[in-house]
Amino acid sequence: MKKNGLLVGIILLVGLIFIGRLFYLQILDNPYKTSPLNNASIKSVYDYPARGYIYDRNGELIVANEQSYDVMVIPREIKPMDTLEFCSLLKIDKEYFKGRYKKAKIYSPRLPSVFLGQLSKEDYAPLQEKLFKFKGFYIQKRPIRKYPLKTAANVVGYLNEVDERAIAKDDYYQQGELFGYTGVEKKYELLLRGTKGVKRIQKNRFNKEIGSYKNGLYDTLSAPGNDLTLSLDIILQQYGEKLMTNKRGGIVALEPTTGEILALVTAPSYDPNIMVGRKRRKNSVLLLGDSINKPMFDRGLKAQYAPGSPFKIITGLIGLQEGVIDENTIFTCNHGYRYSRSRKMGCHAHASQVKLNFGIYTSCNSYFANTYRRIIEKFDTAHEGMETWSKHAKSFGLGNFLGYDLPVGNRGLIPNANFYDQWYTAKNWTATTTLSNAIGQGEVITTPIQLANMTATVANRGYYYTPHIVKKIKGASLDPKFTTKHVTTIDKKHFEPMVQGLFDVFENPGGTAFRSRVKGIEICGKTGTAQNSTKINGATVKLTDHSIFIAFAPKDNPKIAIAVFVENGYWGSRWAAPIATLMIEKYLNREISRKALEVKMFNGSLQDEYDRQLNDPEYHAESR
């Protein structure tokens, strides 16, 4: 028996290992344990809750719900049937039927999937009567979105069918369900969606339903989503959208004291109601595929432009803070600023001997070029000067994501010393190399919301709250980061002369927006005209300048800060300034005193300009 001990021993050992492994798998807790619900003999019937409503700051309903009906299918339960009748009831053709059936079968022959989503009430009614004839199909009710005011599509966003990535990330979702895909719907998805309820139904092995699984132990009730109140003033929003008709660009209006977004307009936009139900698929292709007008591109949040002259405010404030200028510092301007023998930054015709106040309301390039140069050259190296300048500018929320509660955005750019070190590898750059930054051209780029936030900061004399779109959440509190004050690196006292300069932009007859002033409202603002260019067939072509305007009002205790960008709008006071002042008037007075201007803005179109960019091969911008 001695030599057979080996086999006996190994048999016993292997048996012991097997039993040990089974003990681990079946009794101990291990990663192979699957949920008892994950199985084909339990049918889950979902009860979809109403998604949270969305209101504006005055309680106007922006987003509501409507009942819709999904046709569900369990492929292997289908019995022979009159396919033709079924197709005509659903208003689909036979090919489409085959395609959907195949897709459902590939997904799973045993599990239900959406055969045809979001039938309207009208389509559902005739189907309901005859559904009993079509085994394997059933109806699942599901609320869908409705937008009674047809506005703010870019803000509220739309719902889309969950994709595989979303399902992999969050097992709450199942194929065919909807989730917030853009805008507020996406950002506040978890609050808005609520919790779907589920009933587990046990089936026997003949696939017959034999009652509730484990007496409803795993069943849950649905809970409706939380309602949201946005900070948006829907009247202002709609007014802005109307003003921007036939123009491209964006408007961002903020309440300076809170950082609440009052209006977020992008143009062109679309009616959110077309991105609902069965027409969504077709329309999303049209909207997302429009690479010329880009209606899905939120220009207010994502478009990056050179800020142009409004950036002179920052240059001036940094100059005051660093002590390189004061209110009475005088620079000369002789149609521009000559900073080397052959190089000159141009300026328009105005009186020379420029002080800060005059520099602002006439928008003198020389004044701020001089200031910028002094800032950079205050320090031993340009490197150090640039870092200081960059730090100050960034304290206004520029050059990085602001952290607002909408899912898209862009950083913009405030260059720092490293940026130029990498660009000029010899590191021999100086203040004059980067001089364009002084007047918001060159490397500086901003998004409209950044510029609006900068304006709010100036209006507040040195601080801002992170812009945000949601004012109140029913049953939950606001993210504390929206109630945290961000203070700039500029002392409060330096803001007063700057605000006075911005006020004179309207009030002084030589101010660049003198003609846009509004009776009874003390507005402070700054025009901007930003050069821009594009590449056409490899050659850089100068395009018509963008029209830019920033403003806040009233001068003391400001209630609104606004930034307006109109693409290729020639110059600041031509489109952006009237639009901005009309918005301010609408928000503060609800009544427009300048009817003629309003009509001119409503009807004004830049479409010819945009068409020319596309069609005119010899396109050159008018140089202004």
| Shortest Å distance, C-beta 8 to another protein | 6
| Shortest Å distance, C-beta 212 to another protein | 16
| Shortest Å distance, C-beta 17 to another protein | 7
- Closer of 208 and 519 to another protein (Cβ): 208
Binding mask 51-90 for another protein (x = CB under 8 A): ----------------------------------------
| Shortest Å distance, C-beta 132 to another protein | 21
Site for another protein in 10-29 (CB under 8 A): 10-12, 14-15, 17-19, 21-23, 25-27
- What is the edge-to-edge ordering of all strands in the sheet holding 260-267? 260-267, 249-255, 560-566, 539-553, 524-536
Using CB under 8 A, which of 110, 146, 472, 559 touches another protein? 110
Site for another protein in 27-46 (CB under 8 A): 27, 30, 32-34, 36, 39-42
Using rule CB under 8 A, residue 1 touches another protein: yes
Binding mask 450-469 for another protein (x = CB under 8 A): --------------------
| Shortest Å distance, C-beta 4 to another protein | 6
- Closer of 76 and 620 to another protein (Cβ): 76
- Closer of 38 and 557 to another protein (Cβ): 38
Cβ-based neighbours of 188, under 8 Å, separated by 6 or more: 52, 180, 228, 405, 470, 473
- Closer of 27 and 539 to another protein (Cβ): 27
**Whole-angstrom distance between the N-terminal and C-terminal Cα of the chain?**
108
Please name which of 242, 258, 250 lies closest in space to residue 447, comparing C-alpha atoms.
Answer: 250
Report the interhelical angle of 121-130 vs 83-90 (nearest 10°): 160
- Closer of 20 and 148 to another protein (Cβ): 20
| 8 Å CB contact between 201 and 213 | yes
Please name which of 546, 533, 547 lies closest in space to residue 619, comparing C-alpha atoms.
Answer: 533
| Shortest Å distance, C-beta 75 to another protein | 15
- Closer of 174 and 283 to another protein (Cβ): 174
Site for another protein in 573-612 (CB under 8 A): none
| Shortest Å distance, C-beta 175 to another protein | 17
Query: Binding-site residue total for another protein (CB under 8 A)?
Result: 33
Peptide bond into 112 cis (omega under 30): no
Site for another protein in 190-249 (CB under 8 A): 205-207
Stretch of 3-11, 54-62, 351-359, 508-516 contacting another protein, by CB under 8 A:
3-11
- Closer of 17 and 288 to another protein (Cβ): 17
| Shortest Å distance, C-beta 10 to another protein | 7
Q: Tokens 């339990």 — which residue? A: 42
Count of CB atoms situated within 10 Å of the CB of 381:
13
Burial tier of 92 (Cβ tally within 10 Å: 0-12, 13-18, 19+)? middle
Give residue 345's identity as a one-letter amino acid code: M
Site for another protein in 433-452 (CB under 8 A): none
Task: Report DSSP state, residue 611.
Answer: H
The DSSP-derived string for 318-374 is HHHHHTS--TT--B--SSEEE-SSS-EEE--S--SSB-HHHHHHTT-HHHHHHHHHH
- Virtual CA dihedral for 530, 534, 540, 545, nearest 10 degrees? -30
- Closer of 6 and 349 to another protein (Cβ): 6
Give residue 530's identity as a one-letter amino acid code: A
- Closer of 18 and 423 to another protein (Cβ): 18
- Closer of 22 and 478 to another protein (Cβ): 22
Please name which of 512, 363, 530, 371 lies closest in space to residue 451, comparing C-alpha atoms.
Answer: 530
Using rule CB under 8 A, residue 135 touches another protein: no
Residues 136 and 76: their CA atoms lie apart, in Å, by: 7
- Closer of 207 and 589 to another protein (Cβ): 207
Residues in the chain, how many? 624
Using rule CB under 8 A, residue 487 touches another protein: no
User: 3-class SS at 210?
Assistant: strand
Give me the residues that bind another protein (CB under 8 A), please.
1, 3-4, 6-8, 10-12, 14-15, 17-19, 21-23, 25-27, 30, 32-34, 36, 39-42, 110, 205-207
